[in-house]
């Protein structure tokens, strides 16, 4: 293990040992202090500004909102949760369940969300009396480092060990591997290559890879409302999130109306020739996504693909042709490009969706806009997500 990683781990372990037997009350005070610091408007604005400036991707205002809402939401979810000592007892069976911490947890964060990923996972790590060492993305290491520094400031204010939160200052793939090998547990958010690195380290871990959210719209949906919701999710932070819609699958009888509703929300549908230009720009070698398009404005993508679109265009649309690797538009795009599919048979559409997500985003998420409960249940039972 590299000397600097060894030193960080040693400090984290020492800090962990100081809180290993803290009471629930004391732990909750710590979590509240750190969460409060991260969600403060001035903190969120500073972190969002640096993240956008470093990465060149995303939308400043959306990042501010995301940092605050995700941090507050995590704090809300953690309130009242027992994570210390005896957490459950079954007197009839004579069974007692105790919660115990793991130790030092590595948190590998992506450049698309270098601040909110630290906040959300960091609060959960502290709530369970563990220490966290962040391995930032090289492109946004300043953003992740500053996020951790704000957390350390909050810890110092309440007299908690500041080394419960640390961040690698000058990151590298080698340091990330060293951290993975030396930590007690790992959490990683990123692409397939990163997930492989984490698994190869041989430590227990939780990983989040590619998304590829497909939103199904049927004939019972409120078309205008569905379009507004899908576009709100699609355009938030220029679609940097893995949970933003990558495709919409529309029932045939409402297909034209839904397309018009999406266009009314700022969508531009490419014709066949334009689609081919965009494909070549997005996947220059036919397989690897051009990272230059990630979370960039729609006008930027269109211009660099050599396509003229109206100035009020908020996102781009293409028609899907075939699920799987033969049509790269059927996978995750992490950009303001939405693939449109038409269906007549609901069960067959679910099978197509499963094929798309086997290619990209299996195990992530999907959504549906319908008033038919049986369809909600069928999707929940059959979709390879969750």
Instruction: Determine the Cα angle at 311 with ends 308 and 317, to 5°.
Output: 65
DSSP-derived letter for residue 287 is: S
DSSP-derived letter for residue 328 is: G
Token readout for 17 is 């040992």
Contact 231, 262 (CB under 8 A): yes
User: What is the CB-side half-sphere exposure of residue 51 using CA atoms within 13 A?
Assistant: 35
Is 242 annotated as catalytic?
yes
Helices (H) and strands (E) in the chain, counts: 14, 13
Q: Which candidate in 84, 119, 205, 242 is catalytic? A: 242
Can you say how many angstroms the Cα of residue 259 is from the centroid of all Cα atoms in its chain? 27
User: What is the CB-side half-sphere exposure of residue 195 using CA atoms within 13 A?
Assistant: 10
For 294-356, give the secondary structure using H, E and C. Answer: CCCCHHHHHHHCCCCCCCCCCEEEEECCCCCCCCHHHCCCCCCEEEEEEECCHHHHHHHHHHH
How far apart (Å, rounded) are the C-alpha atoms in residues 193 and 55? Answer: 20
**222: Cβ contacts below 8 Å, ≥ 6 apart:** 369
Can you say how many angstroms the Cα of residue 235 is from the centroid of all Cα atoms in its chain? 15
3-state secondary structure of 86: strand
Token readout for 145 is 């480092």
Enzyme catalytic residues: 242
């Amino acid at each position: 293990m590299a000397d600097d990683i060894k030193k960080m781990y040693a400090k984290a372990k020492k800090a962990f040992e100081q809180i290993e037997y803290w009471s629930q009350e004391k732990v909750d005070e710590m979590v509240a202090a750190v969460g409060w610091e991260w969600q403060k408007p001035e903190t969120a604005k500073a972190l969002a500004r640096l993240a956008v400036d470093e990465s060149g991707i995303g939308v400043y205002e959306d990042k501010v909102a995301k940092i605050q809402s995700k941090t507050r939401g995590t704090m809300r979810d953690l309130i009242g949760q027992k994570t210390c000592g005896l957490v459950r007892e079954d007197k009839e069976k004579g069974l007692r369940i105790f919660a115990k911490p793991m130790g030092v947890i590595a948190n590998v964060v992506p450049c698309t969300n270098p601040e909110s990923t630290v906040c959300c996972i960091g609060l959960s790590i502290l709530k369970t009396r563990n220490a966290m060492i962040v391995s930032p993305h090289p492109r946004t290491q300043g953003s992740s480092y500053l996020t951790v520094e704000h957390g350390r400031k909050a810890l110092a204010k309440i007299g908690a060990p500041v080394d419960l939160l640390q961040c690698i200052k000058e990151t590298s793939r080698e340091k990330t591997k060293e951290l993975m090998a030396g930590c007690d547990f790992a959490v990683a958010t990123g692409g397939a290559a990163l997930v492989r690195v984490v698994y190869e380290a041989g430590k227990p871990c939780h990983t989040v890879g590619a998304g590829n959210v497909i939103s199904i719209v049927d004939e019972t949906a409120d078309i205008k409302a569905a379009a507004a919701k899908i576009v709100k999710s699609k355009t938030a932070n220029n679609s940097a999130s893995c949970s933003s819609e990558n495709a919409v699958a529309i029932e045939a009888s409402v297909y034209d109306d839904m397309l018009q509703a999406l266009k009314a929300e700022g969508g531009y549908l490419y014709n066949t020739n334009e689609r081919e230009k965009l494909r070549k720009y997005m996947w220059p070698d036919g397989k690897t996504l051009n990272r230059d398009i990630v979370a960039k404005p729609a006008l930027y993508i269109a211009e660099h693909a050599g396509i003229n679109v109206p100035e009020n265009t908020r996102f781009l649309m293409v028609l899907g042709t075939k699920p799987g690797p033969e049509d790269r538009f059927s996978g995750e795009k992490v950009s303001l490009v939405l693939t449109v599919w038409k269906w007549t048979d609901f069960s067959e559409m679910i099978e197509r969706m499963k094929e798309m997500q086997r290619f990209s985003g299996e195990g992530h998420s999907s959504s549906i806009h319908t008033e038919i409960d049986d369809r909600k249940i069928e999707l929940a039972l059959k979709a390879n997500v969750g």
